[in-house]
Amino acid sequence: MSTTTREAIPEEIVDDPVSATHRLEYTFNPESPRILVVDDERVIREILSDFLGLEGYVVRTVEDGVQALEELQKRSYNLVISDLKMPKMGGLDLIEKITELGIPVLTVIMTGFGTVETAIEAMKHGAYDYILKPFKVEEVIHIVKRGLDRQRLRLRVPGGQPGLRGHGTR
């Protein structure tokens, strides 16, 4: 069973007016959820792609926040796992843009520069969760499953919206 919501990308936010004029369709497919992995380290992208793929997820990878925004405007995703520090656009800036564009996707930030302050900052920006590098793959899979379960529950609640970011009732 698929649930679909339609979201328009506000024209004033998107640099490319052609992209702003079309409507994106965001779909939550519980049989094969879609995950976008964003990291400037190729080995991290490959590890996460391989292991999440083995779990049955549809995974795409990109190198930075700019590429992630381009990909999010082409296809719907249930979850974004993004590095905090990357060239061009880092994870916090990516979350801000996702929020501005109204893209209904859960975001998880990962970093090797983890402190309590950066975790709090990521959550304030709307991250669903936070992963410290080096990470255990089982830990990442657990966070992904928990986030996707949260989306499923929200779809069952009247008025629930798929893909809300952050904790609480934003």
Tens-digit pLDDT profile for residues 13-41: 334 433 433 345 555 566 789 999 999 99
The predicted structure's pLDDT at residue 27: 58
Residue 77's alpha-carbon distances to 36, 106, 120, in angstroms, are 7, 9, 24
The domains located in the chain, with CATH, are: 12-156 (3.40.50.2300)
> Residue 58 belongs to what H/E stretch?
strand 58-62
Angle at 157 between CA 152 and CA 162, to 5 degrees: 45
Q: Are 99 and 65 in contact (CB under 8 A)?
A: no
pTM of the predicted model as reported, rounded to 2 decimal places = 0.76
Q: Which residues, other chains included, contact 167 with Cβ-Cβ below 8 Å and sequence gap of 6+? A: 123, 128
> Residue 83 belongs to what H/E stretch?
strand 79-83
Tens-digit pLDDT profile for residues 55-76: 999 999 999 999 999 999 999 9
